Amino acid sequence: MKKLQLNLLLAAALLSQTPSAFAQSNKKVEPPKTPVAAAPSSDAPKPDAKKGPKPYNKVVDSTAVTQKGLIDVHKMDQKYLFEIPASLIDQEIMTITRFSKTPAGGGIFGGEEVNRQVIQFEKGNNNNLLLRSISYVIMSPDEGKPLAQAVKNSSANPIIGIYEILAVKKDSTGKKDMAFVIDMTSTFDSDIQTFSLDPVKKQTLSIQAFQKDKSFIQKISSFPINTEIRTVKTFSTVPALLSLSPVPRIGAILPAGADAGLLTLELNTSMIALPKKPMRKRSFDARVGYFANQYGVFEEESQKADTDVFAVRWRLEPKSKEDAEKQKKGQLIEPIKPIVYYIDPATPDKWKKFIKAGIDDWQVAFEHAGWKNAIRGEYWPENDPSMSLEDARFSVVRYFAADIQNAYGPNVHDPRTGEILESHIGWYHNIMSLLRNWYMVQAGAVDPNARKKQFDDVLMGELIRFVSSHEVGHTLGLRHNMGASSATPVEKLRDKDFQEKNGHTSSIMDYARFNYVAQPEDGVTHLFPKIGDYDKWAIKWGYSYFDEAKSEKEEKTILNELTKEAYKNRRLWFGTEISPYDPRYQTEDIGDNAMVASTYGIKNLQRILPNLIDWTKENGESYSELDELYSNVTGQFRRYLGHVTKNVGGIYDNPKTYDMTGNQFEIVPKSLQKDAVNFLNKQLFATPTWLLDQNILAKINPENGVESIKSMQDATLSNLLVGDRMVRLMEGSSINKNNYSVDELMTDLRLGIFAELKSQASIDIFRRNLQKLFIDKVAALLNPGTAQVRSIPVGVTYGFKTRVVNLNQTDLPSIARGQLLSLKDSLKVASAGTNDRLSKLHVLDLIARIDKALDPKK
């Protein structure tokens, strides 16, 4: 191959020489002759035409089919010429690429986002336009100053396309450039990453190589503020690897790929110009739960590099100065542009009104920010060719025919300011199965309507409405507020009047689901989350219009005063969804005390479990529904165990600023941590025999539940003795001897798990398994290795900083050794008084295990 390339290069070099030089090796050199003027000939070759743009009407001629819009698009034969307005040069353009159609069975669906980038056209050399991909990593506000140049020198953006300017449209004077015509066909009928799938998505879908001969541009449409490109792309696929896993990996067994070795996708790319006048950023505040964007900032007068972190939100502005004045006086006004979500026409008709109602429910929150008619849901208009579901101008709740039990609410925003431009909420059909399971298991003891295999349309509709509101909240910029439910005292969860007025959580953005604490005798009927006090406050924080603030800094000062005032009300607090140590910030929990709330929850599970057969039975059907719901009951029980466990070694994290009183971090009181361990000893380590309903297990499982119980106990013990929890307990007890310690934790566990040693009662198989687990786990702590301890940096509520702790160099091995020695002494005493054979053998085995752990050479 290298030899062939060399020969080709030599041949090219020879051909590039003048004709006379090339002929010297073949002919004798003749003396030059006096040139004679040749007569003009019409057959003589004409000089090359002048390079550069041609007249506009020579490029865009009468055969062009033109669509006018953000970018005028001319289709000529199979080519697409883009007429880039001069006003669009150097302006940022957001591109959003979505699936329009996908192969079945791959876990991807038409309407889902594939890629999102910012691009920019700029003038290049030699009559061409450059197309760059723009990343926002570092910025400088000091344009024209030395530091700004340093930032530019470190912020080169990649060129993803170079296009010859074919023609220039001039103004009426013929002097001013109005637009530049370029051919972008090759950009969209190929596989450029900016407008296609990134390498990670391709790997996930087992995509191998682009098939250009099976790919094409389907259509390009242009509208006043956007241009839409629909393409068909075909790829070869990597053969799926054999797997014994019952859960298929996305893309691994796509039927189309398996059948044909190829995948064909339809993609739609929306190009929409980012606002020429960027929205004012709103500085991020860790005390209010908004999604955020950020970039590094280098200022000439600053003595350090800063990070500008700002909230993601829609732009709501008054229609006039007069309206702004009315709003300041307390009157509700309409914004220039309201937030509108369309309902996908593919949504089953009977659910459309409930999804719309979930959107409209946010009206009350926006009223707290001074707006009326600021948000609404609308049905997608029929037979309107000017509208497309993939169009980035429209926010849509997309309905997917999928067995995935989920829904999600993303948004597309301006990376410069956080301004949300649009959103496509993903709604999977099988979310209804998840809602049925949740509601039956959490509320079936209280609500008779939850006690059947298929809910009636009214109940399911209201469940859909709740999920709709939650997902819309995300698209408004709101994150999960996992701390909202902890503001409600547990006993208030059983108070009918309180629940009617306030609900069981102060935020629909919490993962609080349903009120599982209310008991049948309480008469509570309001079991759903709704737009709560926190949601109204968060919308007020994010969407209030401060006409009097002349800068982002002044606005931040106003908001800080509002936030300090709001924090006097516990129901308005935000609790991050990623805290590794605050027990108030958890998914699926409710109430201010997990031990009390979970005890009530378990009572309801004990009421529900014996009825599962009657609630799911259907003649001629297998027990698969019973199996699914039994798994949901055990899953709910596991959640309660997790809620309680997080109190052990827990630390309260209350976001604070310098102008607020009190510390940000507080160790969970010792009494609560001991209550948590007592709960686990009682509800889990004392065998939860109520789960072992043989009438159910004999229909769904060949095993009788022994291993299932051991699995729960194993997971909880591992969670209790995990390295980062051990570190927090050791550090907490070192600063105050009244704080709960590792030694106290192990002692409380040991006394509960080995209670039979004192009573000399027989030890059954469940407890024997548990006691072996305990010894093995404590023995492992004799040489615990290292632990990664995570924390959230102050001032933010996302991202972790991690430190590695060598546990071998702490008190942990010493405490573990002391615990094993104490346990060995108790076992020796018990072995003499135990008459049950299996119990005695078990005790002797435990002694041997301890000896082996303490002295491995034995």
Examine the domain organization and report whether 237 and 368 are in the same domain: no
> Lowest-confidence range among 292-301, 491-500, 784-793, 813-822?
292-301
503 in a domain, yes or no? Answer: no
Answer whether residue 182 shows pLDDT above 70: yes
Examine the domain organization and report whether 268 and 330 are in the same domain: no
Q: How many CB atoms sit inside 10 A of residue 622's CB?
A: 10
- Per-residue CA distances from 396 to 123, 386, 422 (Å): 36, 15, 8
Q: Work out the pLDDT band at 186, boundaries 50, 70, 90.
A: very high
Alpha carbon 451 to chain centroid distance? 33
pLDDT at 183: 97
Answer whether residue 291 shows pLDDT above 80: yes
79 in a domain, yes or no? Answer: yes
Examine the domain organization and report whether 219 and 340 are in the same domain: no
pLDDT at 252: 52
Examine the domain organization and report whether 100 and 232 are in the same domain: yes
Average pLDDT score over residue span 151-174: 89
Return the beta strands (E) in 537-675 as ranges.
651-653, 665-667
pTM: 0.88
pLDDT at 650: 98
Examine the domain organization and report whether 339 and 422 are in the same domain: yes
Answer whether residue 312 shows pLDDT above 60: yes
Per-residue pLDDT tens for 692-727?
A: 999 999 999 998 899 999 999 999 999 999 999 999
181 in a domain, yes or no? Answer: yes
Q: Which residues on adjacent β-strands are paired with residue 734?
A: none
Please list the alpha-helical segments (H only) found in 445-532. 457-475, 496-502
Token output for 475: 């698209």
Secondary structure element (H or E) that encloses residue 268, with its range: strand 262-273
Average pLDDT score over residue span 422-435: 94
> Lowest-confidence range among 253-262, 570-579, 730-739?
253-262
pLDDT at 240: 60
Per-residue pLDDT tens for 573-625?
A: 999 999 999 999 999 999 999 999 999 999 999 999 999 999 999 999 999 99
At how many degrees (to 10) do helices 552-566 and 533-543 cross? Answer: 160
Distance CA 56, CA 71 (A): 16
Residues 6+ positions from 157 with CB-CB distance below 8 Å: 120, 132, 133, 134, 135
Examine the domain organization and report whether 221 and 364 are in the same domain: no
pLDDT at 42: 42
Residues 6+ positions from 444 with CB-CB distance below 8 Å: 450, 451, 604, 608, 611, 615
Answer whether residue 247 shows pLDDT above 90: no
pLDDT at 106: 77
Token output for 808: 């071998």
Average pLDDT score over residue span 333-350: 97
pLDDT at 10: 33
Answer whether residue 173 shows pLDDT above 50: yes
pLDDT at 750: 98
> Lowest-confidence range among 388-402, 556-570, 602-616, 782-796?
388-402
Name which of 579, 365, 566, 594 is nearest 488 in CA terms: 594
Examine the domain organization and report whether 77 and 195 are in the same domain: yes
Average pLDDT score over residue span 26-45: 41
**Site of tokens 């964007």:** 293
Distance CA 691, CA 687 (A): 9
Q: How many CB atoms sit inside 10 A of residue 83's CB?
A: 23
pLDDT at 297: 80
Distance CA 647, CA 666 (A): 12
Task: Region of 483 please: left (phi>0), alpha (psi -120 to 50) or beta.
Answer: alpha
pLDDT at 37: 42
Q: How far apart are the first and last CA of the chain?
A: 68
Mean pLDDT of the chain: 90
- Among the candidates 405, 431, 457, a domain finishes at 431
494 in a domain, yes or no? Answer: no
- Which structural domain range is residue 68 located in? 64-273
- Per-residue CA distances from 659 to 83, 431, 560, 624, 656 (Å): 55, 44, 9, 58, 8
678 in a domain, yes or no? Answer: no
Average pLDDT score over residue span 361-380: 98
Answer whether residue 26 shows pLDDT above 60: no
Answer whether residue 306 shows pLDDT above 90: no
Per-residue pLDDT tens for 720-732?
A: 999 999 999 999 9
Q: Work out the pLDDT band at 250, boundaries 50, 70, 90.
A: very low
The pLDDT > 90 percentage for the chain reads 77
Name which of 376, 373, 337 is nearest 360 in CA terms: 376
Per-residue pLDDT tens for 38-74?
A: 444 444 444 444 578 999 999 999 999 999 999 999 9
Burial class (CB in 10 A: 0-12, 13-18, 19+), 259: exposed
Answer whether residue 567 shows pLDDT above 90: yes
Average pLDDT score over residue span 776-799: 92
The pLDDT > 70 percentage for the chain reads 92
Answer whether residue 459 shows pLDDT above 70: yes
Answer whether residue 188 shows pLDDT above 60: yes
Per-residue pLDDT tens for 463-479?
A: 999 999 999 999 999 99
pLDDT at 105: 79
> Running DSSP on this structure, what letter comes out for residue 703?
S
Q: Work out the pLDDT band at 23, boundaries 50, 70, 90.
A: very low
Render 65-77 in DSSP notation, one character per residue.
Answer: EEE-SSSEEEEET
Average pLDDT score over residue span 127-138: 91
**Site of tokens 């935000």:** 574
Examine the domain organization and report whether 244 and 340 are in the same domain: no
Examine the domain organization and report whether 267 and 344 are in the same domain: no
Examine the domain organization and report whether 251 and 129 are in the same domain: yes
Answer whether residue 163 shows pLDDT above 80: yes
Q: Hey, what amino acid is at 410?
A: P
> Running DSSP on this structure, what letter comes out for residue 416?
T
Render 146-193 in DSSP notation, one character per residue.
Answer: HHHHHHHHT-PPPEEEEEE--EEEE-TTS-SEEEEEEE-HHHHTTT-G
193 in a domain, yes or no? Answer: yes
Residues 6+ positions from 812 with CB-CB distance below 8 Å: 726, 730, 742, 781, 784
Examine the domain organization and report whether 732 and 804 are in the same domain: yes
Token output for 523: 């008469």
Overall domain count for the chain: 3
Token output for 168: 């220039």
Average pLDDT score over residue span 354-375: 98
675 in a domain, yes or no? Answer: no
Secondary structure element (H or E) that encloses residue 741, with its range: none
Name which of 221, 198, 187 is nearest 116 in CA terms: 198
Examine the domain organization and report whether 205 and 78 are in the same domain: yes
478 in a domain, yes or no? Answer: no
Answer whether residue 244 shows pLDDT above 80: no
